[in-house]
A and B are shown apart, each in its own frame.
Chain A
């Protein structure tokens, strides 16, 4: 077992799958010789050759289109979109095409594609790099959306995503790439898609989060503990589909919930999670389910990130509201 950053765990997963299945292809803008703008694909072209790991012209829609075409020739494409803010260029390829391939062909054709893409705030990126747009893809039937928050989860979930026979959008939070190390086994392992993980057990309130907000929630839980509030933290890990069972089980125990996301209030997946809770566990609730989110503005100019992005203090505040309701 080695201590690795999330980006090293991601590279590990791709290396494992390139080795494991000759149909796996890794491609995108600068992922070849350069090893990716975040070094996620470092060394892969050298190890597996230009036929397996290659650069493309600068055009996201084209990258999406060739992924579909390669899938039709029996490949298992792992394309990269350099920053998820650029997904608008490839929205038809993802939501209009690959997500529908199996259905529109009556199950005769598939698109086992894993679209990897970095996103997320807190590192002062320029415009349209950090936006949380997972909500847009989560609304599309036919595609799964995975967002890891730890090196261990990232490796197991990425291997599962690549092996999944349907399209997966795999979103990597930029702030989590190198901010800490975690235990990552050298050997291969998988984590089921669609399964949440209880990152901290508690009995007074459930915090549901994903991405960087998992760590903000864990930090909030530590502070709440000082005030005698025992918070349970659920990391969704897959935001589409949602692991309703794990959520409801926790709600039945704590009877209070705060849903945390980095995306704006009108975006993300928080509203969907809350709907599921109110449909399935309203009689277990002692208080309404409240949300911690970013405000409904365009993503902040980078100098305004600190005041704009939700953080652990916002979570503590919201938990107190729920506890004292």
Chain B
């Protein structure tokens, strides 16, 4: 019997460009990004960190509903998105609201999604995306279908989807990458490995040493990336996108990342399953801290610029929450209206019933 495990694992070494001190450690892999691009990436990361802080606060005040914290995952979420084009189709998980926002979803609608209002999911024309998927894994098989559709239409675009480390244990995770592989469809599958699925550590999900190696089961390319490294995530995504639009099939990208906050704001307490030492260790790897060092070294970033981003983020958030507040309350007739193109007889009847109630 051949012992292949070690040789397989050796194929999935962590890809890194920027180390924790903000130094380039892999010059050859340096992506082609202009100074403006680099600043824009930083701007988005800072903005999103503030959005996370404010969202947590607004949730505590009862002004937001369901919220899954994102702090720590900015490089993983935003650098991957930064490598995409407007025509690419996003199939986010429930933690992937930031990618949607940068893909064109107005902030007030993201807040309505959090509160549980259908208008939050009425994406504007041209925002190619589904609303955040709650069923872990479902976005993966759907992404394979979107990608197959793009291939059939002859589009030069990709379907991009995200799940977490826990999500790799689902059947739909495997079926999604395997279908995309069998059809050689232009899809990019992200696994944001933040080491915990609520309280369950990744070691309890699988004995596999990397999650990227799961690509082998589908016969597709897989890569493990330092998910706290904005340049590595961008570069890996860009390459996967190029391969996909050139007809070379899908890629699985594992980003090693961390969520500083709880799983969601619905009563999860990470101190029950995570040590302070572990949290501190990951805070040293903060994607914003290291990218700030890198940019400051190049004279591309200043405290003043950062404060400007913070202020504009706070201003936008204030406006957006006000706009969300102003949005009309939902009625049962709204909900019935959105069920079918043509209402079946039972709903026609119930529509009349609720119209009468609502006009009282």
State the Cβ distance, A103 to closest chain B Cβ, in Å.
Answer: 5
CB of B142 within 8 A of CB of A69, answer: yes
Contacting residues of chain A (53-95) with chain B, CB-CB under 8 angstroms: 56-57, 59, 61-62, 64-75, 92-93
Contacting residues of chain B (129-169) with chain A, CB-CB under 8 angstroms: 130-131, 135, 138, 140-150, 152-153, 159
- With an 8 A cutoff between CB atoms, is A324 at the interface? no
List the one stretch of B95-103, B264-272, B340-348 in contact with chain A.
B340-348
CB of B145 within 8 A of CB of A243, answer: no
CB of A65 within 8 A of CB of B175, answer: yes
Contacting residues of chain A (231-248) with chain B, CB-CB under 8 angstroms: 241-245
Rounded to whole angstroms, the CA-CA distance of A93 and B142 in the bound complex is 9
A57-B178 contact given A51-B152, A144-B344, CB 8 Å threshold? yes
State the Cβ distance, B144 to closest chain A Cβ, in Å.
Answer: 5
Rounded to whole angstroms, the CA-CA distance of A246 and B138 in the bound complex is 39
A93-B339 contact given A72-B149, A108-B123, CB 8 Å threshold? no
CB of A62 within 8 A of CB of B142, answer: no
CB of B118 within 8 A of CB of A59, answer: no
- With an 8 A cutoff between CB atoms, is B242 at the interface? no
Rounded to whole angstroms, the CA-CA distance of A62 and B152 in the bound complex is 18
CB of B131 within 8 A of CB of A102, answer: no
CB of B340 within 8 A of CB of A59, answer: no
Which B residues are in CB contact (< 8 Å) with A68? Answer: 141-142, 145
A245-B345 contact given A69-B142, A72-B142, A142-B340, CB 8 Å threshold? yes
CB of A105 within 8 A of CB of B340, answer: no
Which B residues are in CB contact (< 8 Å) with A194? Answer: 344-345
Rounded to whole angstroms, the CA-CA distance of A75 and B149 in the bound complex is 8
A66-B179 contact given A103-B118, A105-B123, CB 8 Å threshold? yes
Which A residues are in CB contact (< 8 Å) with B345? Answer: 194, 241-245
Rounded to whole angstroms, the CA-CA distance of A51 and B153 in the bound complex is 11
Residues of B within 8 Å of A, CB-based: how many? 42
Which A residues are in CB contact (< 8 Å) with B118? Answer: 103-104, 106
> Closest residue of chain A to B150, judged by CB?
A73
Which B residues are in CB contact (< 8 Å) with A92? Answer: 135, 138, 172
- With an 8 A cutoff between CB atoms, is B335 at the interface? yes
CB of B146 within 8 A of CB of A73, answer: yes
CB of A62 within 8 A of CB of B179, answer: yes
- With an 8 A cutoff between CB atoms, is B247 at the interface? no
Residue among A62, A71, A107 making CB contact with B144, cutoff 8 Å = A62
Which A residues are in CB contact (< 8 Å) with B144? Answer: 62, 65-66, 69
- With an 8 A cutoff between CB atoms, is A109 at the interface? yes
Which B residues are in CB contact (< 8 Å) with A97? Answer: 135, 138, 142
> Closest residue of chain B to A66, judged by CB?
B145
Residue among A51, A69, A72, A105 making CB contact with B122, cutoff 8 Å = A105
CB of B150 within 8 A of CB of A241, answer: no
Rounded to whole angstroms, the CA-CA distance of A65 and B143 in the bound complex is 8
A 254-287 to B, binary, CB cutoff 8 A, 1 in contact else 0: 0000000000000000000000000000000000
- With an 8 A cutoff between CB atoms, is A320 at the interface? no
> Closest residue of chain B to A69, judged by CB?
B145
Which A residues are in CB contact (< 8 Å) with B121? Answer: 104-106, 108
CB of A67 within 8 A of CB of B145, answer: yes
- With an 8 A cutoff between CB atoms, is B314 at the interface? no
State the Cβ distance, B49 to closest chain A Cβ, in Å.
Answer: 29
Which B residues are in CB contact (< 8 Å) with A61? Answer: 141, 171-172, 175
CB of A69 within 8 A of CB of B149, answer: yes
Contacting residues of chain A (26-66) with chain B, CB-CB under 8 angstroms: 51, 56-57, 59, 61-62, 64-66
A-B contact pairs, 24 of them (CB 8 A): A57-B175, A61-B172, A61-B175, A62-B144, A65-B140, A65-B175, A66-B141, A66-B148, A66-B179, A68-B141, A69-B141, A72-B89, A72-B130, A72-B145, A73-B149, A74-B149, A93-B141, A102-B340, A103-B339, A105-B130, A106-B118, A108-B122, A193-B344, A241-B346
Please give the residue numbers on chain A whose beta carbons come within 8 Å of chain B beta carbons, in ascending order: 51, 56-57, 59, 61-62, 64-75, 92-93, 96-97, 102-110, 141-142, 144, 164-166, 193-194, 241-245
Please give the residue numbers on chain B whose beta carbons come within 8 Å of chain A beta carbons, in ascending order: 89, 118-119, 121-123, 130-131, 135, 138, 140-150, 152-153, 159, 171-172, 175-176, 178-179, 182, 335, 337-342, 344-347
Given A62-B144, A62-B179, A194-B345, 9 other A-B contacts at CB below 8 A? A56-B179, A67-B145, A69-B141, A69-B144, A92-B135, A97-B135, A102-B339, A105-B122, A243-B345
